[in-house]
């Protein structure tokens, strides 16, 4: 009896050890030269370039769900620029202004309930504009096309209970609005919607959808960042109209939601912060007394981290929004991506 108990205990310890060191290799992915991550790049027709960054095989826990964060690129930026890298002499400055790759790695150290997978989506239009607004204008059926991009990635991770996070910067907000236009209601598996100074297309028709979605589940989170672009100047001239920028549009969104959801508002010389539903809605507006252009700085200074962690116990832990770069140790040395495949994920069936 004692011998059998010892044998069973030994088997249990060995089995636990195997599970602890299991490697989860994702089909169709290759090893990245940076941080051991798993990556895949392909062109989704029409004219959408996709790059997926998943945790390393040793870090990907098959027992946890996959959080698919669709980060739609800002106008004029490539995937490589958006991922970011250590800037060297002669490099384009765009490689040092977003660092979504490094910010993703920081978030992975704080959010351990899921496998964080960042899906970079680039509007690689034939015009060469790298602009989601231009791409949307070109394709009248853009809601269905955007939904097809999201669905194709969800199928890749179907074994890991995937859920969706819609994110993006600047014109990338158009990707989120196209997805919202694809159905009468925002799907329940969208767990977070994040606007990084990207609310240009907001109107109250979207407000109605957001209101229904945020009230549908305690797992739904809305986070938004914007700055007072209504007074920003470039060479002495306004950069947007009084009602055309994210400052005005974000306030519109808050005003609509506040008709039925009680908000708290905190105002300082630096920020106006609106919060509701125990932090599930968090909107931070950057004051702009110098009338500067702060469009990208909001992302660079831990903006992606803030919109991913807002409303959770990890919000503000180890970083400060608009503070020093908390993700500096995670910036990769180069920007090599795997050779792009022209075959996206197969349709269901």
**pTM summary value:** 0.91
Task: Report pLDDT digits (tens) over 27-65.
Answer: 999 999 999 999 999 999 899 999 999 999 999 999 999
pLDDT score for 344: 61
pLDDT band at 14, cuts 50/70/90? very low
pLDDT score for 148: 97
- The full length of the chain comes to 349
CA nearest neighbour of 290 among 227, 209, 337, 240:
227
Least confident span in 115-124, 284-293, 333-342 = 333-342
Burial 146-180 (b: 16+ CB within 10 A, else e): bbbbbebbbebbeebebbbbbbbbbbbbbbbbbbb
CA nearest neighbour of 197 among 281, 279, 299:
299
**Cβ neighbours around 29 below 10 Å, total:** 19
| Integer Cα distance of 139 and 127 in angstroms | 13
Task: Decide if pLDDT at 17 tops 50.
Answer: no
Non-local CB neighbours of 341 within 8 Å, separated by 6+ positions: 40, 41, 42, 43
Task: Decide if pLDDT at 90 tops 50.
Answer: yes
| Integer Cα distance of 271 and 223 in angstroms | 15
pLDDT score for 245: 95
The alpha carbon dihedral of 325, 326, 329, 334 has a sign of negative
The first and second tokens of residue 284, run together, are 């931070």
**Cβ neighbours around 94 below 10 Å, total:** 17
pLDDT score for 12: 44
pLDDT score for 291: 95
pLDDT score for 179: 98
pLDDT band at 128, cuts 50/70/90? confident
């Amino acid at each position: 009896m004692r011998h059998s108990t010892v044998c069973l205990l030994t088997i249990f310890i060995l089995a636990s050890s195997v599970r602890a060191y299991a490697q989860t290799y994702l089909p169709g992915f290759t090893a990245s030269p940076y941080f051991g991550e798993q990556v895949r790049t392909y062109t989704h027709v029409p004219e959408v370039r996709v790059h997926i960054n998943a945790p390393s095989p040793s870090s990907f826990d098959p027992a946890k769900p996959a959080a698919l964060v669709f980060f739609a690129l800002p106008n004029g930026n490539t995937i490589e620029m958006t991922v970011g890298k250590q800037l060297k002499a002669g490099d384009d400055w765009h490689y040092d202004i977003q660092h979504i790759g490094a910010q993703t790695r920081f978030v992975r150290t704080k959010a351990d309930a899921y496998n964080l997978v960042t899906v970079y989506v680039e509007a690689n239009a034939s015009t060469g504009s790298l602009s989601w607004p231009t791409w949307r204008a070109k394709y009248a059926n853009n809601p269905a096309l955007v939904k097809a991009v999201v669905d194709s990635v969800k199928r890749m991770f179907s074994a890991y209970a995937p859920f969706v996070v819609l994110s993006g910067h600047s014109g990338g907000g158009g990707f989120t609005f196209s997805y919202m236009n694809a159905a009468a209601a925002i799907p329940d598996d969208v767990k977070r919607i994040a606007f990084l100074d990207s609310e240009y297309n907001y109107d109250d028709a979207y407000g109605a959808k957001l209101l229904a979605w945020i009230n549908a589940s305690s797992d739904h989170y809305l986070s938004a960042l914007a700055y007072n672009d209504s007074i920003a100047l470039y060479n002495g001239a306004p950069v947007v109209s009084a009602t055309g920028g994210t400052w005005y549009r974000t306030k519109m969104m808050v005003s609509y939601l506040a008709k039925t959801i009680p908000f708290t508002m905190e105002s300082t010389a630096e920020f106006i912060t609106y919060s509701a539903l125990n932090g599930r809605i968090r909107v931070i507006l950057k004051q702009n007394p110098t009338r500067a252009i702060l469009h990208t700085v909001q992302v660079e200074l831990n903006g992606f981290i803030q919109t991913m962690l807002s409303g959770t116990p990890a919000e503000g832990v180890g970083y400060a929004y608009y503070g020093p770069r908390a993700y500096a140790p995670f910036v990769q040395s180069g920007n090599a991506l795997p050779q792009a495949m022209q075959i996206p994920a197969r349709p269901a069936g």
